[in-house]
Amino acid sequence: MSTLPRSVIPASQIEDDGYDWFKRHDAIAERVKQRKYQLVLLGASMFHYWEGDRPGFGEYGTEAWNETMTQYNVLNLGFGFDRTQNMLWRLEHGELDGQTPDLIILHGGNNLKQTSNYPGDTPEEAAEGLIAVLKKLRELCPDAELLYLTFRNEPLIAQMNEGVRTFIKTENNMTFFDCAADFYNSDNTLNTALFLGDKCHLNNDGYRVLIKALSPRFAKLQSK
């Protein structure tokens, strides 16, 4: 009898990333009862802090967000340090209830990361978690275009992404979108000018590059 990897078993907050996880979840679950959204961002800190929703922390990408993203009707379901099981839990507890978005973008998760609270997943286990999230999104929003976004090419991430890519090839209205080439130099080193000092999170220039890469997808959305 096979055992499911922890990455596909819904779970609430695992890590403390400097914000009230349950308060953010409850606020979003209430927000989706009030209006419909055309664009959904689902992921971890890369999306969460893009629009500046992290009081007391340094600037991420708010300037780039305000330049472009505010013209769209966006529901940001990014939660700092979330893993796929956290995303699944949130989706099962109302964060997309009743929504009919045109486009949902899924990015990352921290399943490969090992902490004192979590042993980390293998690339194969992490891929299974991302696939489970894509399946859940399809269940909740059957008509939405689903886009899996990646822009890092480190070996473990590439290995994880290959599993996701293989799954997406079998699905309709689902896209594997790799724009890593926009974030690396010609010698395949990371273009650190597009990242914060941690070399993990994008700065405003990095978000502008990301927005440019996604602009053909955004062009399909009607301005609100």
Q: Over the stretch 128-152, which tens digit does the pLDDT of each residue have?
A: 999 999 999 999 999 999 999 999 9
Q: Rounded CA gap, 125 and 209, in Å?
A: 30
Decide: 50 and 125 in contact? Cβ < 8 Å: no
Q: Rounded CA gap, 182 and 122, in Å?
A: 26
The two structure tokens encoding residue 73: 């009707």
Decide: 10 and 89 in contact? Cβ < 8 Å: yes
Check pLDDT > 70 for residue 95. yes
- Domain positions in the chain: 6-218
Q: Over the stretch 150-198, which tens digit does the pLDDT of each residue have?
A: 999 999 999 999 999 999 999 999 999 999 999 999 999 999 999 999 9
Work out the angle between the directed axes of helices 84-92 and 123-140 (0-180°, nearest 10): 20
Over pLDDT 90: what percentage of the chain? 88
Q: What angle do CA 7, 117, 77 make, to 5 degrees?
A: 55
Domain 6-218 of CATH type 3.40.50.1110: yes
Model pLDDT, residue 56: 55
> Residue 112 CA to chain centroid, in angstroms?
15
CA dihedral 114, 19, 71, 146 (to 10 degrees): 40
Residue with tokens 């996701």: 164
The two structure tokens encoding residue 25: 């979840």
Write down the pTM of the prediction: 0.96
Neighbours of 43 (CB within 10 A): 24
The two structure tokens encoding residue 8: 């596909």
CB environment 148-166: b (16+ within 10 A), e (fewer)? bbbbeeeeebeebbebbee
Q: Rounded CA gap, 20 and 208, in Å?
A: 28
Model pLDDT, residue 1: 47
